[in-house]
């Protein structure tokens, strides 16, 4: 199980590196009249792309799970469902670390991450 967490955390970190290196920044960043530093806009843009990738990835896995697995109350978790949960948990670890390093999270986003991580820990221990 620990290997899963390491794999998915490294997976999201690699996705983040790829987005930061390959994604082109919108041209509108050059002409915005707001007084937000360009570096912050770029980091937020990259973070939004990674979040979008995470959402598409998990929606796809969830849709597959709904199609393949029966909708039965109190059935055990399947490997696909556990993989989705572990992947999402590791995404939040990555996003929390990335947010702390680049200082784009405010106190509410940090609180949100703490609550989600504690929820995952409670779920994974049950």
The domain locations on the chain are 2-21+35-125
Residue 86 makes CB contacts below 8 A (sequence gap 6+) with 1, 4, 5, 8, 124
pLDDT in tens, 68-81: 887 777 888 888 88
Which two structure tokens, joined as six digits, stand for 61? 């896995």
**% of the chain surpassing 70 pLDDT:** 91
Vertex 83: Cα angle to 14 and 116 (nearest 5): 80
Which pLDDT score, from 0 to 100, does residue 32 have? 62
Which pLDDT score, from 0 to 100, does residue 56 have? 94
Query: What whole-number distance in Å separates Cα of residue 21 and Cα of residue 81?
Result: 31
Q: Provide the angle, in degrees to the nearest 10, between the axes of the packed helices 79-102 and 2-22.
A: 50
Q: Which range is most confident: 22-26, 38-42, 96-100?
A: 96-100
Which pLDDT score, from 0 to 100, does residue 59 have? 93
The CA–CA distances, whole Å, from 49 to 17, 20, 54, 55 equal 12, 9, 9, 10
For residue 104, count other CB atoms closer than 10 A to its CB. Answer: 15
Its pTM stands at 0.76
Per-residue confidence band for 55, with pLDDT thresholds at 50, 70 and 90: very high
Is the pLDDT assigned to residue 16 strictly greater than 70? yes
């Amino acid at each position: 199980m620990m290997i899963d967490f390491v794999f998915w955390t490294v997976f999201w970190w690699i996705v983040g590196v790829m987005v930061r290196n390959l994604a082109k920044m919108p041209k509108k960043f050059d002409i915005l009249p707001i007084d937000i530093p360009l570096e912050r806009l770029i980091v937020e843009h990259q973070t939004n792309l990674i979040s979008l990738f995470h959402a598409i990835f998990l929606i796809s896995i969830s849709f597959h799970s709904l199609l393949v697995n029966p909708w039965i109350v109190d059935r055990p978790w399947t490997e696909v469902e556990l993989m989705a949960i572990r992947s999402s948990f590791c995404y939040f670890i990555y996003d929390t670390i990335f947010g702390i390093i680049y200082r784009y999270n405010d106190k509410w986003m940090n609180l949100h991450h703490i609550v989600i991580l504690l929820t995952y820990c409670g779920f994974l221990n049950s």
